């Protein structure tokens, strides 16, 4: 089943966010870049959806690589926010670098 098919079958926004992080992780793995869930999205994961946030907050060690992948997935950028009009997903990426 393709990534887009899995998104369509997702039962919640949280599940769609986690599927997106999984897909980004898969795409970035060969480049040594790992997106990390932070902020309100991290709370949403830890509370299993009892705390809700609209966007997916990420930090990654190489912003340009993440941006390339989001563009390839047809996300559109407005400032530091990326959104996908068909998937109802909004991604905020911190420009801070992660320590190794």
67 burial (CB, 10 Å; 0-12 / 13-18 / 19+) is: middle
Q: What is the pLDDT of residues 32-85, one digit of tens each?
A: 999 999 999 999 999 987 888 889 999 988 889 999 999 999 999 998 899 999
Q: Domains in the chain, start-ordered, CATH in brackets?
A: 3-94 (3.30.460.10)
Characterize 7-41 residue by residue with b for buried, 16 or more Cβ atoms within 10 angstroms of its Cβ, and e for exposed: beeeeebbebbbbbbebbeebbeeeebebebbebb
Q: What is the pLDDT of residues 7-32, one digit of tens each?
A: 999 999 999 999 999 999 999 999 99
């Amino acid at each position: 089943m393709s990534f887009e098919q899995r998104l369509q079958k997702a039962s919640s926004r949280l599940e769609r966010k986690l599927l997106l992080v999984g897909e980004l992780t898969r795409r970035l793995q060969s480049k040594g870049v790992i997106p990390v869930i932070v902020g309100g999205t991290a709370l949403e994961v830890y509370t299993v959806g009892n705390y809700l946030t609209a966007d997916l907050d990420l930090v990654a060690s190489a912003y340009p690589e993440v941006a390339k992948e989001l563009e390839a997935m047809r996300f559109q950028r407005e400032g530091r926010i990326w959104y996908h009009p068909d998937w109802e997903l909004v991604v905020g990426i911190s420009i801070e670098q992660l320590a190794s």
